[in-house]
Structure 1
Amino acid sequence: MIRIGIILGSTRPNRNGPQVAQWVMDAASRRGDAEFELIDLRDHPLPHLDEPVAPMFGPSIHEHTRAWAERIAAFDGFVVVTSEYNGGAPGVLKNAIDHLCAEWTDKAVGFVSYGVHGGTRAVAQLRVVCGTLGMADVSYQVAISLLTDFENHTTFTPRVHHVTALNKTLDQLIAWSAALAPLRADTESALVES
């Protein structure tokens, strides 16, 4: 069965992300076409990229990066739940992505974003980053406004169009994750042989 990690990409105090990520997890868990697991970056504290060699050139010398790599490698695709800070993705999310390379390659990724403008500028940046790593970013996404979709800017109140967008995002993400499986198998075989 396809395994999808739902990455909660903000670690700041009083973040709205857990509500959004749990909403994604609850909706995803009602499906029967994949297994889903929530990955909170607070549970994986990584220093600013501290690797002496770029991740594309081999395994890390640091235990924290090896543990993060093992966590991510187990999934076929991801939903990234991201806030938008000053027109971009949270630094902690970009840092977590930058710690790895092969663990992201040939996997699908979808986005659920939130912010004053729905988090769309953060997603635009993340699409470039993920594409550079060889990920297939699905076209559907969920964009949630802090101004209209949270009561008092703190309580998430999803609307029908958010549910529709999430279902389309998950449909496409699961289909693409399955379609990319042969490429991941080729990569895994090459790694075992080397």
Structure 2
Amino acid sequence: MSLKLQIIICSTRPGRVGPKIARWFHDVASELGYFETELVDLADFNLPVYDEPNHPRMQQYQHDHTKTWAATVAKADAYVFVTPEYNFGPPPALVNALNYLYNEWNYKPCGFVSYGGVSGGLRSAQSAKQLVTTLKMMPMVEGVMVQMPWELLDDAQHFAGAEVHKQSAKAMLEEMAKWADALKVMR
């Protein structure tokens, strides 16, 4: 059975560049073939600020949006979060989506494709790594950092990653495949 990777678009704001970067990463990941890949857009789930009455560890979800989100996340063996940087941290939509669930995230590796200004969203990814470890996820050291992504859009407004981005993606996905395979035993 092949490993399943979800590429999660973490910004939900209008005019975001995240879907363009995520589609590029999806193409790169699909080409490399370490995972069966799926694009997941947090905007499609329309999750309100956490509104479940029970702790997520209990998995006694009351709301349909939570049940749908939990079923989606549970299908994957690994995750890549395509995330911008908002005020030196991850976007609230990502933090909220992570906090909705617990068991569904456990013992799975995750990586980050961060983007933003001169820092390339690196501070966002570093901050999110602290959060995912409390969900018993294994964040990869390797990652993809995209500085000024709006300067890497082609005439059709598609993101065109540079060679350094492709090599970073390859290094991260190679490592993630090892961790995803090893962590399956723990689930």
Sort the TM-score into its range (normalised by shorter chain): over 0.9
Q: How does 1:40-55 map to 2 (within 5 A)?
A: 40-55=41-56
User: Which digits, 9 at most, give the CA deviation of each residue in 1:11-57, with x for residues without a partner?
Assistant: 11110101110010001111233200000111111110011122013
Instruction: Supply the distance in 2 between the matched residues of 1:28 and 1:147 (Cα, whole angstroms).
Output: 19
CA positional deviation for 1:147 = 6.9
2:17 corresponds to 1:16: yes
Q: Which residue of 2 aligns with 1:176?
A: 179
Normalised by the length of structure 2, the TM-score is 0.93
Is this contact kept in 1: 2:24–2:160, CA < 8 A?
Answer: no
Q: Which residue of 1 aligns with 2:165?
A: 162
User: Which digits, 9 at most, give the CA deviation of each residue in 1:60-89, with x for residues without a partner?
Assistant: 111110110000001000011000011111
Instruction: Supply the distance in 2 between the matched residues of 1:170 and 1:42 (Cα, whole angstroms).
Output: 25
Instruction: Supply the distance in 2 between the matched residues of 1:180 and 1:147 (Cα, whole angstroms).
Output: 33
Instruction: Supply the distance in 2 between the matched residues of 1:135 and 1:52 (Cα, whole angstroms).
Output: 24
Secondary structure, in 3 states, of the residue corresponding to 2:111?
strand
Consecutive unaligned residues in structure 2, runs of 5 or more: none
Is this contact kept in 2: 1:59–1:66, CA < 8 A?
Answer: no
User: Which digits, 9 at most, give the CA deviation of each residue in 1:100-143, with x for residues without a partner?
Assistant: 00000000001100011110111111100000100001110011
Instruction: Supply the distance in 1 between the matched residues of 2:83 and 2:46 (Cα, whole angstroms).
Output: 17
Q: How does 1:120-135 map to 2 (within 5 A)?
A: 120-135=122-137
Secondary structure, in 3 states, of the residue corresponding to 1:171?
helix
Letter in 2 for 1:78: Y
Instruction: Supply the distance in 1 between the matched residues of 2:109 and 2:93 (Cα, whole angstroms).
Output: 21
Q: Which residue of 2 aligns with 1:37?
A: 38
The 1:48–1:148 alpha-carbon spacing in structure 2 relative to 1, beyond 3 Å, is closer
Instruction: Supply the distance in 1 between the matched residues of 2:151 and 2:181 (Cα, whole angstroms).
Output: 32
Instruction: Give structure 1 regions of 4+ aligned residues with deviation exceeding 2 angstroms.
Output: 147-152, 154-157
Share of identical aligned residues, percent? 38
Q: How does 1:32-181 map to 2 (within 5 A)?
A: 32-116=33-117, 117-146=119-148, 149-150=151-152, 156-181=159-184
Normalised by the length of structure 1, the TM-score is 0.89
Consecutive unaligned residues in structure 1, runs of 5 or more: 185-194
Letter in 2 for 1:126: A
Q: Which residue of 2 aligns with 1:190?
A: none
Q: Which residue of 2 aligns with 1:191?
A: none
